[in-house]
Amino acid sequence: MGSQGNVLGGTMIIAGTAIGAGMLALPMISAGMWIYWSLLLMVLTWMLMLRASQAILEVNLHYEPGSSFHTLVQDTLGPVWSTINGLAVAFVLYILVYAYVSGGGSTVQQTVMAVTGNDPGMMGSSLFFSLILMACVWWSTRFVDRLSVILMGGMVLTFILSMTGMLSQIRLPVLLDLGENGSGGGAGIFIWCALSTYLTSFCFHASVPSLVKYFGKRPADINKCLRYGT
């Protein structure tokens, strides 16, 4: 089972997990810092979250592939921290599921209305989206791997197309805060407002046990997925 994973697919799984609703908030939460502090905070956040994922990987390699977060925490930190971790993970996953089902259901609803002219309702659209998503994950990690590559490729393409039209609108004196036409600069104090959003936007660590199960005990390949994906 561990021989089926490939670095490209694992990289797309990590990137697809990290890219989510939290990243939509980054431009607004970064406005007070402007470009230099924002870039610094993004690099520091990436380094911290990458190292955290590598630490989880190191612990995970001491267990059989397929061991969950619950197993790792309970065995290494005890039942109290296992309970705290379980509640925290359940809370985060509930919020994520709510956000994605709500967004995906809305997309399905708008698509059906545009194609057929009939309104399937938000509940029906959300249920349909959930069943399709569940079937993809249930089928196999390999299927998620292949699907992630396709979806990430489409996302990169649409990102490039959307950015192409915006590049001509960039004003370097404003962006780089040069001279009198600058933006007024940014203040480092806003890092403390933005830090939690940046850290949340780089959350992908729940995928590490899944990659260990998918790849087997191949730490070099999994580590490449973590680096390239982040």
Give, for all 230 residues of the chain, the pLDDT tens digit.
445 678 888 888 888 888 876 777 888 888 888 888 999 999 999 999 999 999 999 999 998 888 888 888 888 899 999 999 889 888 888 887 888 888 889 989 999 998 888 888 889 999 999 998 889 888 887 888 788 888 888 888 888 888 887 888 888 887 887 766 555 667 888 889 888 888 888 888 888 988 898 888 889 999 999 999 99
- Written as six digits, the tokens of 103 are 């967004």
Could you give phi then psi for residue 144, rounded to 5 degrees?
A: -60, -40
- How many angstroms separate the Cα of 47 from the Cα of each of 10, 34, 105? 19, 20, 34
pLDDT of residue 177: 76
Give the three-class secondary structure for 9: helix
Residues 145, 147: Cα–Cα separation, whole Å: 6
pLDDT of residue 225: 93
Is residue 7 within 8 Å of 221, Cβ to Cβ? yes
How far is C-alpha 74 from the chain's CA centre? Answer: 25
Compute the half-sphere exposure of residue 177: CA atoms within 13 Å on the CB side of its CA: 12
pLDDT of residue 1: 45
How far is C-alpha 186 from the chain's CA centre? Answer: 27
Residues 129, 102: Cα–Cα separation, whole Å: 9
Which structural domain, as residue segments, surrounds residue 144?
2-229
pLDDT of residue 183: 54
Total structural domains in the chain?
A: 1
Instruction: List all residues 6 or more positions away from 133 whose beta carbon is below 8 Å from its beta carbon.
Output: 100, 104
Q: Is 172 exposed, middle or buried (0-12, 13-18, 19+ CB in 10 A)?
A: exposed
pLDDT of residue 46: 93
